[in-house]
Amino acid sequence: MGAGATSVLPSVDVLMSRYRERVLDAEIASPGLARGVIHPLAASGRHAPLRKAGTPAKERQALEAAVTGAATDLSALAAAADKRAADLLAGQIAGLSDPALIGPAFEAIEGGEPAATAFRDAMDLQIADCQAAEEARLRARAEDLIDLRDRVLRHLVGGGTAKPKAIPENAIVVAEEFTPSRFLEIDWRRACGAVSLVGSPTGHLALLARSRGVPLLIAPDADPAKLNPGLEAIVDAEAGRLILAPSAPTGRDYDARIAKRERERTQTQRWLGKPARTVDGIAVRVYLNVDDPALLEGVDPAHCDGIGLVRSEFLFPGESGLPDEERQYRVYRALLAWAGGLPVTVRTLDAGGDKPLAGLAPEGEANPLLGLRGLRLSLARPEVFRVQLRALARAAAHGPLKVMVPLVTLSEEFNRARTLLTEELSALEEGGIVAARPELGIMVETPAAALNIAEFDADFYSIGTNDLVQFVMAAGRDCAGVAELLDPQNPAVLELIMRVCARGRALGREVSVCGEAASRPDCIPALLKAGVRALSVPPATLGEVKKAIALAEIGT
């Protein structure tokens, strides 16, 4: 090649640098380790060149068709998804017919904008508002809106319903903006890890990844141009690192760590069938927390003592509030049937706070965690509460169903709940409808309830440490900046737990813990020492929890 001529081939240095190990810091959204090859998802339609405008009528039609196409995709995904995911998708589908969300785009079309520009700009404004919000719930909503924006844009500018290309074995799926519905399109039996360049470790995407055990990193510093298909990579969602083109020693090191993790997981499963008994012989009952009955598939009821917490607000995805009595009754009965004679504890609707339910929980409260939520909301909406109590009383005729009420502060609130239950039982009896009185317990989630526990004549007590800890420590459970304060082992929290346990012992009534602390091996010894003898935990943690109990020494 003559002097001065420039080569179109990359230099050897550039080529080598592509294969040199690079380590990027990333946020952990779902823990785990994965080694595989990069599989980038096609970019969203957001950056595609947008067409010139046709007539407003044509553009309106184009947007309507794209919105319908997006709703059809989402419905198909929802039909194949588990309940929690279907719930999330139902929220998105509802958004597509919400005039507040899509109205501004149609207005811009009338003003002469092309459909794609109008829709993208209108959504971008709403996304920016959500991203700038102080409330974590609104910030998480930004993820859903991005998902909707991109799905509709793909229909408008091309790509349409195209499914992601076949996922190679051991893929590490990378997306610039990995949205929940795109996540649900992936076959995670083939892929082993995920990376999103944008997102929040507390958003819906993270919840979906965690419930499926998919390690997920949020890596804002990764350059999408360098995440080439087939490039070897490691998702270290234990240390928060994305390693590209790992060297041979790094690869070997991670292979060993991944194999060790897998061995530990298999060993933990061995504890499933063993009795939950401490080193010093104290028996502990272990119940399950159920948000989504699909997660009970593959769980053997013989490995637990029943269901200790059914979060009824999550049982009916896509509903605003709870469905009619008959549907509720059937779902509660199905849980009793799964448990085969073991107790099933259903918590009455716990809407409001961090679980907004459209049309039911109040909107716009300055501090919803301290607002009209839990039992307070049920008492304010007796027409909803009574239907749930009737459905529960009818189901209780078919097995050991227990009912508990969330976020109780005063004994008067609990007494009013008991009165409503008694009234509904009488009405059922008068109508000749088969029903039975379920045991009625309280969730201890407020410091007031824990301190005044002697005033509560409940059939059982279940300590919701997630809420209790946030109120004792004055640190919001969704405020990342104060997460270190959320310590269930803080002496102030343990003092309250001991108090409730003493009350339970004195009356011979059960005290359980159903918050996250119950499934944390590091917290279990302290809970047992405080007097807790029943834990309720997510199904996926059952083996680990039984192991932690078996290794604990209480030393009474």
Catalytic machinery residues: 204, 514
Q: Could you tell me how far CA 310 lies from the centroid of its own chain?
A: 14
Give the integer Cα–Cα distance in Å for 402 and 392: 9
Q: How many chain residues are in contact with Mg ion, going by CB under 5 A?
A: 3
Q: Max alpha carbon distance in the chain (Å)?
A: 102
- The answer to whether 464 contacts ligand PEP (rule: CB under 6 A) is yes
- Please give the residues from 218 up to 247 whose contact with ligand PEP meets the rule CB under 6 A: none
Q: Output the six-digit token pair for 554.
A: 């209480």
- The answer to whether 464 contacts Mg ion (rule: CB under 5 A) is yes
Q: If contact means CB under 5 to 8 A according to the sort of partner, which of Mg ion, ligand PEP, none does residue 465 touch?
A: ligand PEP
Q: Are 404 and 441 in contact (CB under 8 A)?
A: yes
- The answer to whether 177 contacts ligand PEP (rule: CB under 6 A) is no
Length of the chain: 556
Selected range binding ligand PEP among 43-51, 111-119, 150-158, 459-467, rule: CB under 6 A: 459-467
SS (H, E, C) 228-281: CCCCEEEEEECCCEEEECCCHHHHHHHHHHHHHHHHHHHHHHCCCCCCCECCCC
Q: Which residues are 237's β-sheet partners?
A: 32
- Please give the residues from 296 up to 335 whose contact with ligand PEP meets the rule CB under 6 A: 309, 311
- The answer to whether 466 contacts ligand PEP (rule: CB under 6 A) is yes
Q: Are 198 and 205 in contact (CB under 8 A)?
A: no
Helix/strand/coil for 314: helix
Q: In angstroms, what CA-CA distances link 70 with 148, 161, 241?
A: 8, 8, 34
- Please give the residues from 398 up to 457 whose contact with ligand PEP meets the rule CB under 6 A: 445
Q: If contact means CB under 5 to 8 A according to the sort of partner, which of ligand PEP, Mg ion, none does residue 352 touch?
A: none
Q: If contact means CB under 5 to 8 A according to the sort of partner, which of Mg ion, ligand PEP, none does residue 514 touch?
A: ligand PEP
Q: Output the six-digit token pair for 517.
A: 């602390």
Phi then psi for residue 98, to 5 deg, are -90, 115
Q: What is the dihedral of CA 13, 16, 21, 25, to 10 degrees?
A: 50
- The answer to whether 510 contacts Mg ion (rule: CB under 5 A) is no
Give the integer Cα–Cα distance in Å for 338 and 334: 6
- The answer to whether 489 contacts ligand PEP (rule: CB under 6 A) is no
Minimum separation from the CB atom of position 406 to ligand PEP (A): 7
Please give the single-letter amino acid code of residue 305. Answer: D
Minimum separation from the CB atom of position 516 to ligand PEP (A): 7
- The answer to whether 467 contacts Mg ion (rule: CB under 5 A) is yes
Minimum separation from the CB atom of position 470 to ligand PEP (A): 8
Name the residue nearer to ligand PEP (CB basis): 117 or 465. Answer: 465
Name the residue nearer to ligand PEP (CB basis): 387 or 497. Answer: 497
x/- mask, ligand PEP, residues 514-543, rule CB under 6 A, reads xx----------------------------
Q: Are 53 and 112 in contact (CB under 8 A)?
A: yes
- The answer to whether 465 contacts ligand PEP (rule: CB under 6 A) is yes
Q: If contact means CB under 5 to 8 A according to the sort of partner, which of Mg ion, ligand PEP, none does residue 59 touch?
A: none
- Applying CB under 5 A, the residues found at the interface with Mg ion are 445, 464, 467
- Applying CB under 6 A, the residues found at the interface with ligand PEP are 309, 311, 350, 445, 464-467, 514-515
